[in-house]
Amino acid sequence: MMLRKNLALKLFVTVIAASLLVGCNKTRDYKNSSRATGWKMNAKEGGFQYDPKTKEQETGPGLVFVEGGTFTKGRVQDDPMHDWNNSPTQQHVQSFYMDETEVTNLMYLEYLDWLKKVFPPSDENYRKIYEGAVPDTLVWRNRLGFNEVMTNNYLRHPAYAEYPVVGVSWIQAVEFSNWRTDRVNEMALETAGVTARNARYDAKPGETFNTETYLNAPTLTYGGNDSITRGGKKSEAIAKRSKDSTNLYIQRKDGILMPGYRLPTETEWEYAALGLVGIRNYNVYRGKKKYPWEGQYTRSGKRRSRGDQLANFKQGDGDYGGIAGWSDDGADITAQVKSYEPNDYGLYDMAGNVAEWVADIYRPIVDDEFNDFNYYRGNVYTKNAIGEDGKVKVVTMDSIVYDTLSNGKIIARNLPGEILQVPVDENETYLRTNFSKSDNRDYRDGDKGSSRYYQSFADDESESGESNKRMYNSPIQKVYADSLGELDRQYDKSSSRTTLIDNEVRVYKGGSWRDRDYWLDPAQRRYFPQDMATDYIGFRCAMSRVGSKSKKGKRPRN
* Digit-coded pLDDT (tens) for 192-226: 999 999 999 998 888 999 999 999 999 999 999 99
3-state secondary structure 264-327: CCHHHHHHHHHCHHHHEECCEECCCCCCCCCCCCCECCCCCCCCCECCCCCCECCECCEECCEE
Provide CB contacts within 8 A for 514, sequence distance 6+: 314, 320, 535, 536
Distance CA 521, CA 465 (A): 47
Distance CA 455, CA 471 (A): 9
Which pLDDT value is given to residue 262?
98
Neighbouring-strand partners of residue 262:
542
Please work out, in degrees rounded to the nearest 5, the angle formed at the alpha carbon of residue 215 by the alpha carbons of 209 and 216.
105
Distance CA 139, CA 376 (A): 29
Which pLDDT value is given to residue 28?
44
Distance CA 105, CA 156 (A): 7
Alpha carbons within 13 angstroms on the beta-carbon side of residue 274 total 29
Which pLDDT value is given to residue 356?
98
pLDDT tens per residue across span 328-362: 788 999 999 999 999 999 999 999 999 999 999 99
Work out the pLDDT band at 397, boundaries 50, 70, 90: confident
The 3-state DSSP class for residue 3 equals: helix
pLDDT tens per residue across span 81-116: 777 788 899 999 999 999 999 999 999 999 999 999
Average the pLDDT over 516-526 and give the result: 93
Which pLDDT value is given to residue 159?
97
* Amino acid sitting at position 141: R
Residue among 130, 136, 124 nearest 112 (CA): 130
Q: Rounded to the nearest 10 degrees, what angle do helices 170-191 and 105-118 cross at?
A: 80
pLDDT tens per residue across span 405-416: 888 888 898 899
Work out the pLDDT band at 483, boundaries 50, 70, 90: low
**Following DSSP, what letter does each residue of 148-174 receive, concatenated?**
HHHHHHTTT-GGGTTSBP-S--HHHHH
Superfamily (CATH) of domain 59-192+256-369+509-550: paralog of FGE (formylglycine-generating enzyme) (3.90.1580.10)
pLDDT at 6 over 50: yes
Percentage of the chain surpassing pLDDT 70? 88
Q: Give the number of residues written for the chain.
A: 558
Phi, psi of 16, deg, nearest 5:
-65, -45
The two beta strands, 537-538 and 355-361, are: parallel
Distance CA 63, CA 101 (A): 9
pLDDT at 44 over 50: yes
Percentage of the chain surpassing pLDDT 90? 59
Neighbouring-strand partners of residue 361:
506
Long-range contacts of 325-332 (CB under 8 A, 24+ apart): 331/513, 332/513
pLDDT at 26 over 70: no
Work out the pLDDT band at 20, boundaries 50, 70, 90: low
Q: Which of 61-75, 86-100, 267-281, 478-492 has the lowest mean pLDDT?
A: 478-492
**H or E element: which one contains 544?**
strand 542-544
Q: How many C-beta neighbours within 10 Å does residue 191 have?
A: 12
pLDDT tens per residue across span 132-178: 999 999 999 999 999 999 999 999 999 999 999 999 999 999 999 99
**H or E element: which one contains 378?**
none
Which pLDDT value is given to residue 162?
98
pLDDT at 558 over 80: no
Q: Which of 256-270, 389-403, 442-456 has the lowest mean pLDDT?
A: 442-456
Domain(s) of CATH 3.90.1580.10: residues in the chain: 59-192+256-369+509-550
**CA-based max dimension of the chain:** 118
pTM given for the model: 0.90
Q: Which of 33-47, 109-123, 164-178, 457-471 has the lowest mean pLDDT?
A: 457-471
Provide CB contacts within 8 A for 487, sequence distance 6+: 404, 408, 479, 480, 481
Distance CA 154, CA 143 (A): 19
Q: How many C-beta neighbours within 10 Å does residue 423 have?
A: 12
Q: Yes or no: say if 533 and 78 are a contact pair by the CB < 8 Å rule.
A: no
pLDDT at 297 over 90: no
Distance CA 326, CA 284 (A): 40
Average pLDDT, the chain: 87
Phi, psi of 47, deg, nearest 5:
85, -165
Strands (E) in 126-221, as ranges, are none
Average the pLDDT over 466-481 and give the result: 76
Q: Which of the pair, 419 or 4, is modelled with greater confidence? A: 419
Distance CA 119, CA 116 (A): 5
* Amino acid sitting at position 362: Y
